Amino acid sequence: MQDDNCTFSMKRRDLLRMIGMSGGAAVMYQAMSSLGFAAESTFKGQPKLQGAPKNTSVLILGAGIAGMVAAYELRQAGYKVQVLEYNHRPGGRNWSLRGGDRFTELGGFSQHCQFDEGFYLNPGPWRLPYHHHGILSYCKKLGVPLEPFVQVNHNAYVHSANAFGGKPQRYRAINADYRGHVAELLAKSTQQGKLDDAVNKQDQEMLLESLRDWGALDKNLAYSSGIASSNRRGFDKDPGGGLSARPIPSKPVALDELLGSRLWSNLSASEIYEFQTSLFQPVGGMGRIGEAFGRALDGVIRYGAKVTAIQQDEHGVTVSYEDADKPGSTQKVHGDWCICTIPLSVLSQIPMNVSAAMTEAISAVPYAASVKVGLQFKRRFWEEDEHIYGGITYTDLPIATIGYPSTGFHSSGKGVLLGAYIWGLHAFEFTAMTPEQRVQKALEYGSQIHPQYAREFETGVAVGWHRSPFTMGCFGLWSEEARAKHYDNLCQIDGRIALAGEHASYLPAWQEGAVTSALDVIERIHQRAVAEARA
């Protein structure tokens, strides 16, 4: 969801796991960004596919976002397209689990989602950044309505089991106190002449004025209890009307306690490139995008097709697959060209006659571990009791993240929370559990933040991505060294076969990486096909 990006070595990957354990997913995202893990989309609009050779066929493996973008555009350009998809639905990791859905993991763990109508969990991606122009363009093209996704909510919590007696703190209070203390320290340094060599006298006056405003400092340039600081961190008693109207300012947390809590480690969440401004989500769940593509490609996608071999020669590509409706039988399909979007974790186990360089590249990319847990409750207590409308709570507990729904605000009745969004070592631990155990652990940990869990819980589902039979992991986890050595080989057209997907992009884990990878490869396939037809 994202993990909603990547270029780092094995040591850096271990570092990120530790960061994820101590600071939560958002902090790990920040670390990923600092390692060049996030980048802006290269989307340039409609692909240039004029003059498609007549009767040229393209076989596409996988009906995830990359596969369906490729199929959609190639068919529009006049190519004969067929898609083979393992699942009985389109979308791949673009997926929403709703009431009535069933899902069986590797190992035989089967879940029947019992959510009420209208509720869902997005096991994979759950938000669309404003600058992911490619996936947003297909939402518009396919008529998928969007609504705001609340990323940062200052009334949500930051939490550590080892700070403030385990009591969750409002994001706004920690954010205000951290900024206020930093502003006061810098103001004191400026007044004491410690910055004379760096800032001239005139600029020092401007700096002090800006620090007073930025940090909500008092007239003495101190961060103290008062109206200014409480307007940032909240009041002990809010302003009102009548004789009881007078507010009571709150008391900031002392600097040493604040630093020791390490809750400041979550404050950078809103500064990450993807999360700085408007984010979106499809109305009704992220899976609406995949479903819309599926409708647009009606008759093109063959569902329940498990690819077992991929063989090419100078004339084309032949793919063997097992039909889920005819167990034990092997069927074959042929195309002039093949675009394979199967995750590398699965593709590495499928016989395919490509070059040694591509084979080595396919095997060089491990997949990240991640677990998501969705919890349905009898009432929206986070809104009714704690006034949290959307946004995310961050914790150093193994669940890492609690996500509040960005829709249905102030409605009565039930609601579904993202009760855990887990990465790193804790994700491996949760993946080893049964789904029921994952849900139970999410409830146990979440109760430390929301005591209402125990009496309000109804049902839950939990997806461990390393147990997903169609991905065997969450996303391609490139190391810095592996990308330098293998990335170009992975993305080359190898004979008549080319790969696409988030793993073949510099935006791994994001759907935008899948979109831009697909658009890039179909333009190169088109150029080859046109050149061959003219030869």
Whether residue 10 is predicted with pLDDT greater than 60 in this model: the reply is: no
Q: How far apart are CA 77 and CA 25, in angstroms?
A: 41
11 sits in which H/E element: helix 10-23
Confidence of residue 39 (pLDDT cuts 50, 70, 90): low
Nearest to 120, CA basis, from 375, 291, 380, 446: 375
Question: For position 26, what pLDDT does the model report?
Answer: 41
Q: Report residue 440 CA to chain centroid gap.
A: 23
Cβ-based neighbour number of residue 147 at 10 Å: 11
- Domain limits at 250? 169-261
Q: Are 333 and 469 in a shared domain?
A: no
Question: For position 40, what pLDDT does the model report?
Answer: 67
Q: Are 374 and 453 in a shared domain?
A: yes
Whether residue 1 is predicted with pLDDT greater than 70 in this model: the reply is: no
> In the predicted model, what is the mean pLDDT of residues 187-195?
89
Whether residue 511 is predicted with pLDDT greater than 50 in this model: the reply is: yes
Q: Does 11 map to a domain?
A: no
Confidence of residue 25 (pLDDT cuts 50, 70, 90): very low
> In the predicted model, what is the mean pLDDT of residues 278-307?
97
Q: Does 234 map to a domain?
A: yes
Question: For position 283, what pLDDT does the model report?
Answer: 98
Q: Are 441 and 331 in a shared domain?
A: no
206: domain CATH number is 1.20.1440.240
Q: Are 204 and 245 in a shared domain?
A: yes
Question: For position 361, what pLDDT does the model report?
Answer: 98
Which of these three, 226, 261, 296, is where a domain ends? 261
Question: For position 533, what pLDDT does the model report?
Answer: 93
> In the predicted model, what is the mean pLDDT of residues 421-431?
96
Which of these three, 474, 506, 525, is where a domain ends? 474
Q: HSE of 491 in the Cβ direction (CA atoms, 13 Å)?
A: 23
Q: Does 9 map to a domain?
A: no
Q: How far apart are CA 193 and CA 12, in angstroms?
A: 39
Q: Does 15 map to a domain?
A: no
Is 211 within 8 Å of 217 (Cβ atoms)? yes
Whether residue 41 is predicted with pLDDT greater than 90 in this model: the reply is: no
59-94 pLDDT tens trace? 999 999 999 999 999 999 999 999 999 999 999 999
Question: For position 38, what pLDDT does the model report?
Answer: 54
Question: For position 275, what pLDDT does the model report?
Answer: 84
Residues with Cβ within 8 Å of 20's Cβ and at least 6 positions away in sequence, in order, are: 27, 28, 400, 423, 424, 426
Helices (H), 24-96: 25-34, 65-77
Burial class (CB in 10 A: 0-12, 13-18, 19+), 149: buried
Question: For position 290, what pLDDT does the model report?
Answer: 98
368-399 pLDDT tens trace? 999 999 999 999 999 999 999 999 999 999 99
Q: Are 210 and 307 in a shared domain?
A: no
Is 55 within 8 Å of 80 (Cβ atoms)? yes
> In the predicted model, what is the mean pLDDT of residues 493-510?
97
Q: Are 434 and 389 in a shared domain?
A: yes
> In the predicted model, what is the mean pLDDT of residues 439-465?
98
Helices (H), 37-153: 65-77, 133-142
Q: How far apart are CA 438 and CA 117, in angstroms?
A: 23
457: domain CATH number is 3.90.660.10
Confidence of residue 29 (pLDDT cuts 50, 70, 90): very low
Q: Report residue 325 CA to chain centroid gap.
A: 33
Q: Does 4 map to a domain?
A: no
Q: Does 354 map to a domain?
A: yes
Whether residue 218 is predicted with pLDDT greater than 60 in this model: the reply is: yes
245-264 pLDDT tens trace? 999 999 999 999 999 999 99
Residue carrying the six token digits 């401004």:
277
> In the predicted model, what is the mean pLDDT of residues 34-60?
82
Q: Does 294 map to a domain?
A: yes
> In the predicted model, what is the mean pLDDT of residues 310-320?
97
Nearest to 401, CA basis, from 130, 7, 6, 28: 28
66: left (phi over 0), alpha (psi -120 to 50) or beta: alpha
Q: Are 232 and 306 in a shared domain?
A: no
Question: For position 199, what pLDDT does the model report?
Answer: 83
The number of folded domains in the chain is 3
Q: Does 13 map to a domain?
A: no
Whether residue 482 is predicted with pLDDT greater than 50 in this model: the reply is: yes
* Per-residue exposure over 445-483, b if at least 16 CB sit within 10 Å of its own CB, e if not: bbebbbebbeebbebbbbbbbbbbebbbbbbbbbbbebb
Whether residue 22 is predicted with pLDDT greater than 70 in this model: the reply is: no
End-to-end CA distance of the chain: 45
Q: Are 74 and 120 in a shared domain?
A: no
Q: Are 24 and 142 in a shared domain?
A: yes
Whether residue 7 is predicted with pLDDT greater than 80 in this model: the reply is: no
Q: Are 381 and 510 in a shared domain?
A: no
Whether residue 36 is predicted with pLDDT greater than 60 in this model: the reply is: no
Q: How far apart are CA 397 and CA 21, in angstroms?
A: 8
359: domain CATH number is 3.50.50.60
Whether residue 17 is predicted with pLDDT greater than 50 in this model: the reply is: no
Q: What is the DSSP string of 245-286?
A: ---B---PPPHHHHHHHTGGGGGGGGGSGGGSS-EEEETT-T
266-277 pLDDT tens trace? 998 878 888 888
119-162 pLDDT tens trace? 999 999 999 999 999 999 999 999 999 999 999 999 999 999 99
Q: Are 482 and 353 in a shared domain?
A: yes
> Which tokens go with 323?
């039909």
Whether residue 5 is predicted with pLDDT greater than 60 in this model: the reply is: no
Q: How far apart are CA 364 and CA 347, in angstroms?
A: 12
323-377 pLDDT tens trace? 988 888 899 999 999 999 999 999 999 999 999 999 999 999 999 999 999 999 9
Is 163 within 8 Å of 448 (Cβ atoms)? no
Q: Are 229 and 267 in a shared domain?
A: no
Question: For position 160, what pLDDT does the model report?
Answer: 97
